[in-house]
Structures are given as structure tokens and as C-alpha cells.
Amino acid sequence: MFRELLRHPDFLLIDKSPGIGMHEENGAPGLVTLVREATGLALYPVHRLDKMTSGLLLLARHPEANRALSQGFAERRIKKQYLALSDRRPIKKQGLIKGDMKKGRGGSWMLTRSQDNPAISRFDSSLVREGLRLFRIRPETGKTHQIRVALKSVGAPILGDERYGGTPAERGYLHAWRLNFTYGGEAFDFVCPPEVGEAFLLPETRLAIEALAP
């Protein structure tokens, strides 16, 4: 479900497991409720991860921290990096993906050519082995399904992300890998390699992740 990484006086940092949503779904408690129950802490989610996404999640421990951290995300002072795997060859191996997003069918989203309020993602990638590529994504905005739509737009839907055309797998291969920010005058830089998913745990994938520049 989750792994506690840091209990700060103002926030809790966890490693979220894939396959669990942030909030209640079909009567089952969501991640935030489960973490509250397990830790006994009053917690406030300051950002969110999709159900299929694993990795670093920051939860504020009181309203003042919630406001400060939420503002940090809104003003793009909290920097995020994600890892993803795809078994498709992208039309470009690195660069910028930018465009407005609009709702499609059944809860999906689409990237458009307009630039009124664009989703912005920068990415680079490396070949893990034939038929498997590792992507590092730096989203500069926080739109719903932004990274999933971005990689689909370059012809490399995320492995396991069937909503956006990815090849079926035992999980969706998207992971919140790194967070860095300054809070209360202290600099924080957290890195959390993925621990769930056969393709993430391949020796070649682990080496490719370790080779990423800081």
C-alpha cells in the first residue's frame, strides 16, 4: 500500500504502491484514509498520483504546511521527476511536449495544438534493451493524466497503460522518482527508485535508472 520514507514535523513523505487510488472508490477507502489510519496522523494531500502510479507522495501534517506546500506546487517551486517505461519507439527521444489538454471519452484526455493553458513536460530517454525504453519526465505543470498523454503523443504510450494505448502489463509503468524543494529554509532532495514491477526490476532497467544524472 505504502512505505513511510520521512516523518517531518510538517509533512509525511511516502512511497505509494501502484494500483491504489488517492480517495475512496466503490466503498473502499483510498490511500489518504489508509495512511491516516496506519500512522495516526492528520494528513492533507498537497498533490496527487494516479491510481497506476507509484512513488513519492507528499502529505502535509497540518493546514499551514498544506497551504505552503500546495503553493509550492502551484508556483512550480517543487520540482518533480517521473520514470516511465514503454515498449514502443518514440518519434523523438527527448525534448519538450506542450499543448492544451481537453477531455475525451470515458475519462481520458487528449493533447491539442492550442496553447491557451498548456500542459508542459520535458523528457529524455534511453534504450534499456531492444523493445524497452526508459523515460525520465519533468512535468512543469500538473494536469490530469499529463505524463500519460504526453508519452502517447510521441508514440510511446506507457507500458501497462491500456487507457492510452499501452501494451497490457501487470502494472502501469509510471513512477514518481524524485522531488526537490526548499521548505522552512531547508533544502530537500528525495530520490526513490521503483520497487514494484517486473520490468522496473530488470537488471538492465536498474542500471539505466542508476545512470541518470542527478
Q: Which positions are annotated as active-site residues? A: 50
Distance CA 212, CA 188 (A): 19
Q: Give 151-203 as a 3 state SS string.
A: HHHCCCCCCCCHHHCCCCCCCCCEEEEEEEEEECCEEEEEECCCCCCCCCCCH
Using CA atoms, how far residue 115 sits from 27, 95, 98, 101, 102, in Å, is 39, 17, 8, 9, 12
Q: Cell numbers at residue 170, please?
A: 501487470
Task: Report which residue type is found at 128.
Answer: V
The kind and range of the H/E element at 95 are strand 95-99
Q: What is the widest separation between alpha-carbon atoms in the chain?
A: 49
Give the position of cell 527521444.
93
Q: Cell numbers at residue 13, please?
A: 513523505
